[in-house]
Amino acid sequence: MGKNKLLYPSLTLLLLLLLPTDASVSGKPQYMVLVPSLLHTETPEKGCLLLSHLNETVTVSASLESVRENRSLFTDVVAEKDLFHCVSFTLPRSPTSQEVMFLTIQVKGPTQEFKKRTTVLVKNEESLVFVQTDKPIYKPEQTVKFRIVLLDESFHPLNELVPLVYVEDPKGNRIAQWQNLEVENGLQQLTFPLSSEPFQGSYKVVVQKGSGGTAEHPFTVEEFVLPKFEVQVRMPKIITILEEEVQVSVCGLYTYGKPVPGRVTMNMCRKYRNPSNCYGEESNAVCEKFSGELNNEGCFSQQVNTKIFQLKRQEFEMKIEVEAKIQEEGTEVELTGKGATEITTTITKLSFVTVDSNLRRGIPFTGKVLLVDGKGVPMPNKVIFIPLKPTVKMLERSNVSRTEVSNNHVLIYLDKVTNETLTLTFTVLQDIPVRDLKPAIVKVYDYYETDEFAVAEYSAPCSKDIGNA
């Protein structure tokens, strides 16, 4: 199949320009040789010669030289006038994958003689071999289907003879093989059946190339058995940094729905963002372990105090992971289940549900807002404070670069934070009077590194309708 070498990404042309010392003057003889700087063996290559402004008859010769051999590309090309001449040549396969050779060009005439020597890279043409199976895992007595794809370095399909293809089991035994396999149009598909009791483990298809190299592709044979029961870990999908306790339940259920009798061991951890390997497992995560017997419903529940996980600390990942193992009573079969809960710094979310579509000066603007907690659960009988934008805007006269007032929070941008105490004051309006107010959350974080933050609680003196924050 024809090959277009111009498509090869690393192929460049080597130009040898041979000029006499005064060739810059118009009308003087000029000689140019064009040869690829990368030559492939066993593949037709081409070199071209350009002669112009000749004032005498010259002969041109070109040769490749290496430690092991000298090869002439063209010899004694005679030219009496302007000439553009190309010569095709094929280099034999090199004993090494690639080598550097010297290209020598000589132009000789009655009164002038020029000689130029430079290097080119000679590389053996290597075919690309790809092996694919129809799936990664097989069971006994199934048929393994695979295909071999042969391409050249320009990704064109090849017609080649593959000396050997074989399949090897986990013990290193050759259980199937094909010799002198003809690959047409770059593709060959093969199959072989597995026995009823094959070795279980990793197998591989090995393709031996004509150049001596090999290509391999692994697949697995195993007897897949459905698990007897399932381990389910039930916990909240999300908790806030103010949560003091979290409920975790582990249940074991057979595939037919009945509860599993046995014992559970549960490990609950919060990992560090940047763990260290210097001090063992304790430097990787903060963990707490629980164990107990499963009840009549096949479940075990635990109310876990979150104090040990330090939910407000920023050097930990913002999630708690649980791994639970249930050991079946009588058989001691043990299966594992996992679960996780996300930790959020968002305590409340405020959004407008319905508002007037138009606003006119002097006419009251009405609307309905929805207040939910960090888990998305509506929060009844809570106080909503509406920041007065003029008082927030006045902060920009101090060390504040910019402010924003949103539905449920105020954003204050600082150019820099120092060790000195900074006090910022603005006014909020309490819309609905409610007793037993909960503290608000003040969060300080880096604008570009939002994972780096600090959180504190703030209780405002809200005995009046208008309070300072």
List phi, psi (to 5°) of 392.
-70, -40
268 with 193, same domain: the answer is: no
Q: Which residue, of 123, 157, 182, is where some domain finishes?
A: 123
Q: Is residue 25 domain-shared with residue 83, that is, in the same domain? A: yes
Which stretches of the chain score pLDDT less than 70?
Answer: 1-27, 76, 226, 277-282, 359, 361-362, 365, 383, 385-390, 397, 407-408, 429-438, 451, 460-469
Check residue 202 and give its pLDDT.
94
Task: For residue 393, give the DSSP letter.
Answer: H
Q: Within a domain: residue 403?
A: yes
How far apart are the C-alpha atoms of 350 and 368, rounded to whole Å? 10
- Residue 358 covered by a domain: no
- Supply the range of the domain harboring residue 428: 380-468
Q: What is the dihedral of CA 206, 209, 212, 215, to 10 degrees?
A: -40
Q: Is 372 helix (H, G, I), strand (E, B) or coil?
A: strand
CA separation (Å) from 31 to 47, 120, 139, 415, 432?
14, 19, 69, 68, 95
Please give the helix or strand (H or E) that residue 166 lies within, else none: strand 160-168
pLDDT at residue 390, as a whole number = 66
In this structure, is residue 333 part of a structural domain?
A: yes
Domain count, the chain: 4
Confirm if 440 and 458 have CB atoms less than 8 A apart.
yes
Q: Identify the helix (H) or strand (E) that includes residue 391.
A: helix 389-393
Q: Nearest 5 degrees, angle CA 374-CA 377-CA 371?
A: 75
Strand order in the sheet with 319-328: 238-240, 334-344, 319-328, 262-271, 285-293
* Same domain assignment for residues 180 and 115: no
pLDDT of residue 407: 61
CA 168 to chain centre: 32
pLDDT of amino acid 385: 65
Q: Which of 290, 303, 301, 294 is nearest to 252 (CA)?
A: 294
| Buried-state track 408-418, b at ≥16 Cβ within 10 A, e below 16 | bebebeeeeee
How far the first Cα of the chain sits from its last, in Å, is 80
What pTM did the predictor assign?
Answer: 0.42
Last residue of a domain, which of 221, 256, 284? 221
Domain final position from 200, 221, 242? 221
Q: What does the alpha-carbon distance between residue 250 and residue 292 come to, in Å, rounded to a whole number?
A: 10
| Helix, strand, coil fractions of the chain, as percent rounded to 5 | 5, 55, 40
